[in-house]
Structure 1
Amino acid sequence: MSVLAALTRAYGRMEERGLVPPFGYSIENISHAVILGPDGMPSGTPRDLRDFQGKKPKPRRLAVPAGGKRTSGIAPNFLWDKTAYALGVSAGPGKRLEREHEAFKTLHREALAATEDEGLRALSLFLDLWTPDCFARWSWPEEMLDQNIVFALESEWLDRFLHDRPAARHLWASRIAGADAPHTDASNTDDSGAICLVTGEKGPAARLHPVVKGVWGAQSSGASLVSFNLDAFTSYGHEQGGNAPVGARAAFAYGAVLNKFLETGSRHRLQVGDASTVFWADGSDAEAADLAEAAFGVMVAGVDDATQAKRVAPILERLRAGRPIADFAPGLDAGVRFHVLGLAPNAGRISVRFWVEDDFGAIAANYGRFLRDIAVEPGPRNPNTGLFGYLIQTAVQRKSENIPPNLAGAWMRAILTGARYPLPLMTAVLMRIRADGVVNAERAGMVKSVLIGTLGKEDVPVALDPDNASIGYLLGRLFAVYERAQTDALGKLNATIKDRYYGAASAQPGKVFPLLNKGVQPHLSKLGKKHAGWRNRLERMIGEIMENIDPGPDAFPRTLTLADQGLFALGYYHQRQAFFNKSSGAEETPEETLETEAPQ
């Protein structure tokens, strides 16, 4: 199923539950309501509809008749608009104020000329008596300038607004019926009776597709997922949406659902690197679909909420153990169809970074494989670390805006489809390790996953493996022991050998390790004067590692391949973590060694 078809199908179910606006309406930010008497006279100061519970007042989100796209032209909205159109006033100079307000009045004079509805007649009378200077003369609040406003009758404004009245809905439906599109201007449709590529139905096609808002990095006013705005896109004389006809109703449906998913605070939205990711589940069992969405949210974003973690943690643990989801949650296997869509800005448009559609059981199985590939011991402090917690480790200064472009989308697609992980993931991790010297569980896990899932390494260990004879792994372990000997002998240092030599040692060990071999001897000698047992233990570690490295002048290779550089990082992490007491999690010290091990 295509992206547009899946979104259109989701609209049908969400409309039944009242989660999306009906055809021809859109959800907009409304700040004030002008209250009118039956004679059209305003009843006092406009009512402030904003929510003041937070630090900053938030406009109310209301379903209003959908407006058309505004570029350089003048296009008033029906029964609502910003103050420049509806009242002819603005906080700025407003070179087009007079024309915009006149267009708003003309639209409503024509639309409401024959109405018998009390509320709509009140608005018509109001527009006849209103002049922009009334705003200052009646001392209306300046904070409503340039904000969206609606209208209501004094007797019912607490219950509904003018656009909610049955007569207003009927009038709006008749206005869009001829064009069959959610705009007051019928020019947004192609009346050629094309076959909709989404639904297969014959009818008017949308000339312009809906604006999508909420994609990170895109224009705040929104951008188009589908657009044809260059002559090069013209085919056989068709213009705009006629090149790939999508029915007006289908275009409205996918736009309404996508905007709903991308709303701030939506549980269907996650930010994965530069890709704004939306996901949703289809299924006859609403409870199973909700659980699938909750589990997926934890998979990708992680969770700090204890209640949610308790709900989905058993699912993740069983996936990590390699159990099919059908064994412990049959309702989530074949009964739930799952969709994941990644969007990113592309100039004035929106591009699709990835699109994954499958049974949730298949997606869960692929994610379980990823959990096993990325597992290291000890693991991250938060066992439910999501993809963002890993991706941030590839970014300069661990800032989300510095995550390498395209990396998040490519990685997400590979995880959900079971494909190979992107090789640039390991390259990015290794570059950050060389830059800041941090080798933690998240970075070690990403390196391990690429070694297994991309480079085909079968013997990559989860925890410290003394028998692993890979040269990169051995050298990483050896480097960790050298670093420990230095810090134990000299105490706290401004820069350790890791800070000075890690990058060179992991890439060109032949140049660095001969120097490190010589440098470790004074450290061991100094350590032995106070802690002979600990010195002997470190010496044994060095000897055991060196036994697995071929002796001779070429013991340390001149260079390491990318795979061996990854194994170097993994070996360093495992050996460094092995210095911590497994039972308490505390770092083992030379003093503790003296209590359990006699000097030799």
Structure 2
Amino acid sequence: MIEGIDRRQGLLQALAGYYERMDDAEAPGWSREKFGWCVVIDKDGEPVRVQDMRDLGGKKPVVRQYQVPASFPRPGTTPRAFFLWDKTAFSLGVTKSGRHNALRQHEAFRSLNLERLAGTNDEGLMAFQHFLRRWTPDRFDIDPFVSEMLDANIMFRLEGDDRYLHERPAARRLVAPVSEADDRKTTLCLATGERGPAARLHPTIKGVEGAQTAGASLVSFNLDAFESYGKAQGDNAPTSETIAFRYGAALNRLLTRDGPNRVRRPIGDATLVFWADASNAKAAEAADSWFGEAVAVEDADEARKIGEDLAAVAKGRPLSALHPAIEPGTRFHVLGLSPNAARLSVRYWLSDDLDVFAKRLADHHADLRIEPQPWGKPPAVNYLLAQTTALQGKFDNIPPLLAGEVMRAILTGAPYPRSWLAAAVIRLRAGDDPGQGWHAAAIRAVLVRRQRLQGTESDIREKKETPMSLDRDHPNTGYQLGRLFAVYELAQRAALGRGVKATIRDKYFGAASATPASIFPLIIANGQNHLSKVRKEKPGWAYMIERELEEVMAHITPTMPFSLPRSLRLEDQGEFAIGYYHQRKARLGDGATEQPSFDDDSDEGNDRDE
């Protein structure tokens, strides 16, 4: 559901504009639908064979889209059929749930088509009338019909004719177009400012992940609670029938699965589509292709190229200088849609120059930088969110509202939501591995962007920005405590070996980052026992670890270990995670032959606990 008139105007106008640029746009009264089967009939209306229309080139058959007489919403219990095509429940009277459930639907299909086709002398349409009069659902049990057809869309064709029935000239003349040239009461269209009949029901939008397979409405008023000022249905958001048709056709085209204007995997629960306004199709395609790769890059070579582009954009170069096919000043639109029962929710709707979006994506990747980098290529947004906020790292477990807020922040350049910081910290406290670096990178991104956009000059002078790489002099107590925790974990590993089943990280990381005063005395006491063993067995390592401990403790005030903070605020818990990651990845010593680190696998370990 669209919030506010201004957002509705901009979105519907932009979609209607995209419709005008579609080379093969369906005309009013037509729509693109998915089909897998066609029933071929002879002149007497007898089915002679079934044509498999699916794409069989991949691992499994894929249905294809065809332009047919338009579909429409079918609310309520009274069956309403489509012209010359429909699901098997309507067109053949059979369905997976049982034939007795489809009798009313098939009768509605039969009645509508016989009525519309009355008086025609077209050979194909007359054959279809014979088919409708003779057909009984029991006929489906006989060849050439197959069970795979059940509940799929079915169209028809006359034997010996390459055209489908709805493509015959006589059939096209019977398709009722959307027309504003009638005597209905007109209203002022909110999208164009022109007068015309308002669309009573807005088009059905298909392809949004998680929405009803039959489609959902972007604009809908089907309950009294949604209506106001005595207006019913579409009169509450007066949009002309022409604009309603155009925006529906355009949005359904953009939402085509695996299409060039759609991010393949949803971001949270939002299906993201995008499109450019350009003077020609080639320029628009170049802009669309670049943005799609930048938001959800998967190929390693493309990721490298996108990384180079973003680095150049960060230095002030326009995309048109990097890719001549992209026009300077290209206007670009981004829309995120989420399912909401029989409706669609707009998670975000943004429109700006493509160079502006590119600069914001470059800022996003810059804010994510951390050393050492935990990924080999710039991470896609949904993968980043899965790694930092989702239970078991599953895409389905990404908090949907958070995903929308993060994506909006990326595309607008606004501060990341504080809830992203909270979610990452919660996942670390729940047992996610802080040594992987994903959470640290996300936490640092939230902190540095807020510090950059909301910080004061004194913050900058006092060097309070969260560091990208190990900074031994960073003044944040949480950061230094995270470093201290990592050094004591290293002492444990040096004493007990890499085979230790449960390190202090597994037992105490969450508590130590939240309530240091209650946990660190225990960690320090155990750490001294571990160091005592290391001094005996690996004195060189003991020397470097103790020197690192002294350096860290010198940066923690008040004096350790008796006056530690009782608790750390959320931002400082984030700093704790970053300090831990930086220290964990650092190698100690000053060029000595033997340097202890978490990545050193030279010792065998003995499966001992602490």
Q: Same fold (TM over 0.5)?
A: yes
Amino acid in the other structure paired with 2:66: L
SS at match of 1:2: helix
Offset of residue 398 of structure 1? 0.8
Q: Which moved more, 1:409-418 or 1:122-131?
A: 122-131
SS at match of 1:44: strand
Rounded to whole Å, the distance in 1 between the matches of 2:433 and 2:424 is 10
Offset of residue 324 of structure 1? 5.6
Do the aligned residues in 2 keep the contact of 1:481 with 1:538 (CA within 8 Å)?
Answer: yes
Equivalence for 1:474: 480
Cα gap change, 1:437 to 1:48, in 2 (>3 Å): closer
SS at match of 1:104: helix
Do the aligned residues in 1 keep the contact of 2:383 with 2:395 (CA within 8 Å)?
Answer: no
Offset of residue 266 of structure 1? 2.1
In the alignment, structure 1 residue 21 sits paired with structure 2 residue 26:
yes
SS at match of 2:93: coil
Offset of residue 310 of structure 1? 4.9
Rounded to whole Å, the distance in 2 between the matches of 1:483 and 1:23 is 69
- Consecutive unaligned residues of structure 1, counting only runs of 5 or more, are 181-188, 593-600
SS at match of 1:481: helix
In the alignment, structure 1 residue 6 sits paired with structure 2 residue 10:
no
Cα gap change, 1:90 to 1:347, in 2 (>3 Å): closer
Aligned pairs for 1:150-299 (under 5 A) are 150-157=155-162, 160-172=163-175, 175-177=176-178, 191-270=184-263, 271-284=266-279, 286-299=281-294
Q: How many residues align?
A: 575
Equivalence for 1:62: 66
Rounded to whole Å, the distance in 2 between the matches of 1:193 and 1:398 is 53
Do the aligned residues in 1 keep the contact of 2:72 with 2:204 (CA within 8 Å)?
Answer: no
Counterpart selection for 2:554 from 535, 547, 552: 547
Offset of residue 443 of structure 1? 1.2
Root mean square deviation of aligned Cα? 2.9
Equivalence for 1:532: 539
Q: Which moved more, 1:574-583 or 1:490-499?
A: 574-583
Deviations along 1:106-135, one digit per CA (max 9) or x if unpaired, are 222222223232222222233233344444
Amino acid in the other structure paired with 2:568: L
Equivalence for 2:135: 130
Amino acid in the other structure paired with 1:5: Q
Rounded to whole Å, the distance in 1 between the matches of 2:234 and 2:341 is 19
Cα gap change, 1:453 to 1:31, in 2 (>3 Å): same
Aligned residues: percent identity?
46
In the alignment, structure 1 residue 394 sits paired with structure 2 residue 389:
yes
Do the aligned residues in 1 keep the contact of 2:286 with 2:325 (CA within 8 Å)?
Answer: no
Offset of residue 446 of structure 1? 1.0
Do the aligned residues in 1 keep the contact of 2:495 with 2:533 (CA within 8 Å)?
Answer: yes
Deviations along 1:547-586, one digit per CA (max 9) or x if unpaired, are 2223536542222122211111111111111139999xx9
Rounded to whole Å, the distance in 2 between the matches of 1:138 and 1:388 is 47
Offset of residue 206 of structure 1? 1.2
Rounded to whole Å, the distance in 1 between the matches of 2:545 and 2:138 is 86
Deviations along 1:364-403, one digit per CA (max 9) or x if unpaired, are 1122222221110111322221111210121111111211
Amino acid in the other structure paired with 2:437: A
Rounded to whole Å, the distance in 1 between the matches of 2:48 and 2:414 is 64
Amino acid in the other structure paired with 2:427: R
Equivalence for 1:358: 352
Cα gap change, 1:354 to 1:398, in 2 (>3 Å): same
Cα gap change, 1:263 to 1:139, in 2 (>3 Å): closer
Counterpart selection for 1:442 from 432, 435, 438: 438
In the alignment, structure 1 residue 453 sits paired with structure 2 residue 427:
no
SS at match of 2:48: coil
Deviations along 1:506-531, one digit per CA (max 9) or x if unpaired, are 11112222222222122122112232
Do the aligned residues in 1 keep the contact of 2:283 with 2:327 (CA within 8 Å)?
Answer: no
TM-score by length of 1: 0.89
Do the aligned residues in 1 keep the contact of 2:36 with 2:153 (CA within 8 Å)?
Answer: yes
Rounded to whole Å, the distance in 2 between the matches of 1:290 and 1:375 is 30
Rounded to whole Å, the distance in 2 between the matches of 1:582 and 1:153 is 84
Rounded to whole Å, the distance in 1 between the matches of 2:589 and 2:40 is 71
Amino acid in the other structure paired with 1:81: D
Rounded to whole Å, the distance in 2 between the matches of 1:374 and 1:26 is 43
Amino acid in the other structure paired with 1:530: E
Offset of residue 349 of structure 1? 1.4
Offset of residue 90 of structure 1? 3.7
Rounded to whole Å, the distance in 2 between the matches of 1:256 and 1:218 is 18
In the alignment, structure 1 residue 413 sits paired with structure 2 residue 408:
yes
Counterpart selection for 1:424 from 407, 419, 435: 419
Equivalence for 1:184: none
In the alignment, structure 1 residue 578 sits paired with structure 2 residue 586:
yes
Do the aligned residues in 2 keep the contact of 1:196 with 1:202 (CA within 8 Å)?
Answer: yes
Do the aligned residues in 2 keep the contact of 1:40 with 1:122 (CA within 8 Å)?
Answer: yes
SS at match of 1:151: strand
